[in-house]
Amino acid sequence: MSDPMIRLRELYVEFNPPGKRIQAVNGVDLTVDRGEVVALIGESGSGKSVTLRAMMRLHPEKTTRYSGALEVAGQDVLGMGGGALSQLRGKRVAMIFQEPLLALDPVYTLGEQIVEAIRRHEPLGRAEARARALQLFERVRIPSPERRLDAYPHEMSGGMRQRAMIALALACNPQVLLADEPTTALDATVQIQILLLLRDLQRELGLSIVFVTHDIGAAAEVADRMAVMYAGRIVEEGPASELLTRPRHPYTRALLGSRDEGALRKGRRLDTIGGAPPDLARLPAGCAFAARCAFADDACRAAVPERRELGARHAAACRRLDELPALLAVRADEALPS
Residues 48-101: tens digit of each pLDDT = 999 999 999 999 999 999 999 999 988 999 999 988 999 899 899 999 988 888
Nearest-angstrom CA–CA distance, 262 and 178:
29
Residues 155-185: tens digit of each pLDDT = 999 899 999 999 999 999 999 999 998 887 7
Look at residue 97 and tell me if it is in a domain. Answer: no
Same domain, 16 and 50: yes
**Cα dihedral sign for 196, 223, 171, 3?**
negative
The CATH number for 303's domain is: 3.40.50.300
Nearest-angstrom CA–CA distance, 165 and 110:
9
What's the pLDDT band for 332 if we cut at 50, 70, 90? Answer: low
**Exposure pattern of 234-245 as b/e (b: 16+ CB <10 Å)?**
bbbbbbbebbbe
Look at residue 199 and tell me if it is in a domain. Answer: yes
Nearest-angstrom CA–CA distance, 118 and 93:
14
Same domain, 116 and 187: no
Residues 226-267: tens digit of each pLDDT = 999 999 999 999 999 999 999 999 999 999 888 765 444 555
Look at residue 307 and tell me if it is in a domain. Answer: yes
DSSP assignment of 65-121 equals: EEEEEEEETTEESTT--HHHHHHHHHHTEEEE-S-HHHHS-TTS-HHHHHHHHHHHH
Question: For the chain, what is the domain count?
Answer: 2
- Domain span at residue 131? 102-173
Same domain, 37 and 137: no
What's the pLDDT band for 304 if we cut at 50, 70, 90? Answer: very high
Same domain, 162 and 181: no
Beta carbons within 8 Å of 302's beta carbon, 6+ residues apart: 285, 286
DSSP single-letter state for residue 50? H
Same domain, 203 and 263: yes
Look at residue 1 and tell me if it is in a domain. Answer: no
Look at residue 221 and tell me if it is in a domain. Answer: yes
Nearest-angstrom CA–CA distance, 256 and 250:
10
Look at residue 44 and tell me if it is in a domain. Answer: yes
Instruction: State whether residue 8 is helix, strand or coil.
Output: strand
